[in-house]
Structure 1
Amino acid sequence: MENFDYIVIGSGQAGIPLVFSLAKQGKVALVEKSFLGGTCVNNGCTPTKAYVASARRMWDALHGDELGIEIPCGAKANLEKIKARKDKLVHESRSGIEKGISNNEQITLYRGEAHFLSNYQVQVGETILTAKNIFINVGARAVVPSEYQDIPFYTNENILELTDLPEHLIIVGGSYIGLEFGQMFSRFGSKVTIVERNGKLINREDQTVSDAVAEIMSSDGVNLLFNAVDIKVKGSAGEISLTVDGSEIKGSHLLLAIGRSPNTDTLQLGNTSIEVNNKNYIKVNDYCQTNVEGVFAIGDCNGEGAFTHTSYNDFQIVESFLLKENKRKISDRISTYGLFIDPPLGRIGMTKKEAIDKGYEVLVAYRPMSKISRAKEKGETLGFMEAVIDAKTNLFLGACIIGVGGDEIINGITNLMYAKKPYTMLRDSVHIHPTVSELIPTMLENLKPIDK
């Protein structure tokens, strides 16, 4: 048995910074069954955004004529080169983590899958580790329903290993992962069909946002099929057939983007007192503590966020707690996220529907990108910006910007919401001209009530 001050299971975006922080206080065991860096580095943010960038270059090459640029030979996506660029970026990030760990004498890396023997004992291979402080950072994976188990399929992980473009990529699921992959492969040259069981894309969003996303996807040639409740699938490699409500769709490749499930099922938590909810997410309090003293769950596996930024914030919360500062907690976090299609969606706080359902008296500010000069000058007028304001306090309840620069521009409103400052502060500010964000103050001059 190996004794440590701390054990960290999983090397994702919460686990890695925590490991280096804990190493300043004592001996740390880090357990990782796969590549260091977790989802973000290996098959999430880094690789997919590299692909999004390549897809954008493809779009630019094919739309030069709209801005007076003639490109006679057009463009062709070389997926092998796109993948090689992605692999280089991933390797650089992963290598940096590996070097940092190997150079730190306080950290011992164990390769293998961990499972609990008791509340404070973890087995990896033939080795048993013990510590009074354990941090679970095992992440999540793609949901694969039983009806797809015997059919050749891809998830967000292995589709990034393709070197030949799919002739026709069928995607089941019309939310973040499905939309990003759908647009990029359509831009690369594949035929793409997205099959969504709900009546709109990104079901958590307001209808106006879903409609704008659908318009963007359709403009890139992506076929959208909604209300696909009855789906039957059959086929073999290169020949996939989906029957959706009686209609058949034939494709060459199938991507499942239905949802995510926590990787807690491999931990053998039945050997412990650690509690999980009905979806197998580990229950935690405001400081990422489980019900077992000294055991924490951070990142996607605690169900309190599904993004790299929330995972990193979990690390910040735990570090603050361990230092007895308690300056951070989960309940202080404002929901914010991006959809990295092109143009992107940036979202902070509540949707209109959420605000109304919670009983707020709502004022809404809205401006289409087609009425923003910089967007018109760029030739990118799809989308809109919108803010949801509490009529009683003048505080932002939420906002979304879907359009050119939306994923970056939204952070200005994020800062204002954390500062708990009224919308008038942004309305009365002077922004740089000509920019897209300069129209946010203008938009905020025209608040309108919304019917409940």
Structure 2
Amino acid sequence: MRKFDAIVIGSGQGGVPLAKKLAKAGWQTVIVEKRWIGGTCINDGCTPTKSMIACGAAAHVIANSQEWGITVSDFKVDLEKIVARKNKVVESFRGGATKGLEKTDGVSILYGEAVFSGHKTLKVALKDGGEEEITAEHIFLNTGTLPKIPPIPGLDAVPYLTNTSILELTQLPSHLVIMGSGYIGLEFGQLFRRLGSQVTIIDKGKQLLKHEDEDVAAAVKKVMETAGVMMHTDASIQKVEQTGETIRLQFTANGQHQVITGSHLLVAVGRTPQSKSLQPEKTGLALDDKDFIRVNDKLETNVPGIYALGDVKGGPAFTHISYNDYLILYKNLVGKQDTSIQDRPVPYCMFTDPQLGRVGMTEKEAKEAGHTIKVACLDMTRVARAIETGNTQGFMKAVVDANDDKLLGVAILGPEGGEIMSVLQMAMLGGMTATQLREMVFAHPLYSESINNLFMTLDK
């Protein structure tokens, strides 16, 4: 058995920098990866999807070029080339992350699948054969999640796609049916519609994006429908079956029984943690009722010396949160600080076009928390830069505490919505008021300049 100072299981956006920084601090560290360095984000999450979404945006501009006074008589979508471009970007990112680990003194890489074999000991079934047993005083679990597959009759008998396998399609679906309307479903739905597929989204929720305010969710639905995506909400799928070359779904929506057939089916109803495959019971590790690893606000599990970071611990499932988890662990264990996940900002962005950038409280959350609020709203049709570029879908919204004039939360559904949100996130962290933002000098004619006009709406 080999003994290390630290074992990191999983090489996602928290695991890789943590392993490198621990090694640089003098800890003998091993990182175990069963697939590829980089985790979900680089290999089948953020990096590949945003690379393909950029291609969808190009197709959209070409298809609608007459709006800008330019006529394109014909164009063709080559999905094989789009996927090849995506793969090149992914391989570049993955290669960079791998070389970074390999060049770091004090870091060993084991390619294989790890399971607990006893108290703070793990057996690794190596990719190239054989097995190795390892142990450490400090163990960090960064194993992430997998697509959740719902128990719908017939689903296990049809060739459904997940967010991973859909990235490898080289022929466009004639009709892509998507089960689920979260970020994955909406981003892929708009992407494939822009590339030329017919797209239908079926979701059990009464509104899209259940954690957002109703007006934001309704505006996103309008964006999708304007793009030509068929939406069915408040729907319950009873059965899935394959009939020849098509997949047939029976479902009830708004009290009516319906049947739809498509060429391809994408299952995007959520994610499930990769925790039970670790055999956590062998080291006494506690899971919650959804099998996420239980942690406290310092990312410590119930077993001293074992920590969890990233999606496997539950909570906000974003790459930047996983990275911040690493910072918290490093500061506490090496820097001897006392940091926690309590009260950290959780910004996020959905990469539909237009983007939805969000940080802080929704209007509903602010009211439920007992705040007296003012709400500023500005339609993108009133934003100079949006009008000039021809991108006027969406609106800006800010929730302001009426007592101290400070921002409680922001939702920006618009072009570069994530970038505008980030400006306002910094304003929130700096304690700036709505009045200060209304009067601030921004360069003209940026999207961010519309922050002036957004807060002017509070004067009415």
Q: Deviations along 1:11-41, whole A, 9 cap, x unmatched?
A: 0000000010011122111111111100000
Q: Which residue of 1 aligns with 2:65?
A: 64
Q: Deviations along 1:150-187, whole A, 9 cap, x unmatched?
A: 22111101100110000100000011000000000000
**Structure 1 consecutive aligned stretches of length 4 or more whose deviation exceeds 3 Å:** none
Q: For residues 283 and 298 of structure 2, what CA distance do their matches in structure 1 show?
A: 20
Q: Which residue of 1 aligns with 2:94?
A: 94
Q: Which residue of 1 aligns with 2:110?
A: 110
Q: Deviations along 1:363-392, whole A, 9 cap, x unmatched?
A: 100000011121111111110001001112
Q: For residues 271 and 365 of structure 2, what CA distance do their matches in structure 1 show?
A: 23
Closer/same/farther in 2, CA of residues 232 and 89 from structure 1, 3 Å limit: same
| Amino acid in structure 1 at the alignment position of 2:144 | G
Q: Which residue of 2 aligns with 1:264?
A: 275
Q: Which residue of 2 aligns with 1:78?
A: 78
Q: Which residue of 1 aligns with 2:133?
A: 128
Q: For residues 104 and 310 of structure 1, what CA distance do their matches in structure 2 show?
A: 24
Q: For residues 192 and 282 of structure 2, what CA distance do their matches in structure 1 show?
A: 44
Q: For residues 268 and 134 of structure 1, what CA distance do their matches in structure 2 show?
A: 14
Closer/same/farther in 2, CA of residues 294 and 213 from structure 1, 3 Å limit: same
1:236: how far off? 5.9
What pairs up with 1:212-291 in 2 under 5 angstroms?
A: 212-235=219-242, 238-245=245-252, 246-291=257-302
SS at match of 1:133: strand
Q: Which residue of 2 aligns with 1:409?
A: 420
| Amino acid in structure 2 at the alignment position of 1:4 | F
| Amino acid in structure 1 at the alignment position of 2:274 | N
SS at match of 1:5: strand
What pairs up with 1:121-200 in 2 under 5 angstroms?
A: 121-125=121-125, 126-147=131-152, 148-200=155-207
SS at match of 2:235: coil
| Amino acid in structure 1 at the alignment position of 2:210 | N
| Amino acid in structure 2 at the alignment position of 1:146 | P
Q: For residues 99 and 199 of structure 2, what CA distance do their matches in structure 1 show?
A: 40
Q: For residues 260 and 427 of structure 2, what CA distance do their matches in structure 1 show?
A: 47
| Amino acid in structure 1 at the alignment position of 2:381 | S
Q: For residues 169 and 52 of structure 1, what CA distance do their matches in structure 2 show?
A: 16
Contact 1:167 1:190 (C-alpha < 8 Å) held by counterparts: yes
1:348: how far off? 0.6
Moved more, 235-244 or 245-254: 235-244
Q: Which residue of 2 aligns with 1:378?
A: 389
1:448: how far off? 7.6
Closer/same/farther in 2, CA of residues 109 and 61 from structure 1, 3 Å limit: same
Moved more, 391-400 or 168-177: 391-400
Consecutive unaligned residues of structure 2, counting only runs of 5 or more, are: 126-130
Consecutive unaligned residues of structure 1, counting only runs of 5 or more, are: none
Moved more, 405-414 or 439-448: 439-448
1:104: how far off? 3.0
1:424: how far off? 2.4
Q: Which residue of 1 aligns with 2:128?
A: none
Contact 1:390 1:396 (C-alpha < 8 Å) held by counterparts: yes
| Amino acid in structure 2 at the alignment position of 1:127 | E
Q: For residues 268 and 459 of structure 2, what CA distance do their matches in structure 1 show?
A: 37
1:327: how far off? 5.6
Contact 2:124 2:133 (C-alpha < 8 Å) held by counterparts: yes
1:282: how far off? 1.1
Q: Which residue of 2 aligns with 1:323?
A: 334
Q: Which residue of 2 aligns with 1:210?
A: 217
Contact 1:12 1:40 (C-alpha < 8 Å) held by counterparts: yes
Contact 1:79 1:163 (C-alpha < 8 Å) held by counterparts: yes
1:217: how far off? 0.9
SS at match of 2:236: coil
SS at match of 1:155: coil
User: What percent identity do the matched residue pairs reach?
Assistant: 42
Contact 1:152 1:236 (C-alpha < 8 Å) held by counterparts: no
SS at match of 2:73: coil
Contact 1:6 1:131 (C-alpha < 8 Å) held by counterparts: yes
Q: Deviations along 1:320-349, whole A, 9 cap, x unmatched?
A: 111234263211312211110011000011
Q: Which residue of 2 aligns with 1:363?
A: 374
| Amino acid in structure 1 at the alignment position of 2:184 | I
SS at match of 2:201: strand
Contact 1:237 1:252 (C-alpha < 8 Å) held by counterparts: no
| Amino acid in structure 2 at the alignment position of 1:429 | M
1:405: how far off? 1.2
Q: For residues 422 and 104 of structure 2, what CA distance do their matches in structure 1 show?
A: 35
The counterpart of 1:300, out of the listed 293, 302, 311, is 311
Q: For residues 307 and 71 of structure 1, what CA distance do their matches in structure 2 show?
A: 39
Contact 1:28 1:106 (C-alpha < 8 Å) held by counterparts: yes
Q: Deviations along 1:390-409, whole A, 9 cap, x unmatched?
A: 11222211011101110111
Moved more, 42-51 or 266-275: 266-275
TM-score (norm. length: structure 1): 0.96
| Amino acid in structure 2 at the alignment position of 1:32 | E
Contact 1:344 1:407 (C-alpha < 8 Å) held by counterparts: yes
1:431: how far off? 0.8
For the aligned residue pairs, the C-alpha RMSD in angstroms reads: 1.4
TM-score (norm. length: structure 2): 0.95
Contact 1:205 1:351 (C-alpha < 8 Å) held by counterparts: yes
Moved more, 327-336 or 182-191: 327-336
Match status 1:438 vs 2:438:
no
Q: Which residue of 2 aligns with 1:426?
A: 437
| Amino acid in structure 1 at the alignment position of 2:35 | S
1:422: how far off? 2.3
SS at match of 1:286: coil
Q: Which residue of 2 aligns with 1:15?
A: 15
Q: For residues 181 and 104 of structure 2, what CA distance do their matches in structure 1 show?
A: 43
Q: For residues 190 and 238 of structure 1, what CA distance do their matches in structure 2 show?
A: 16
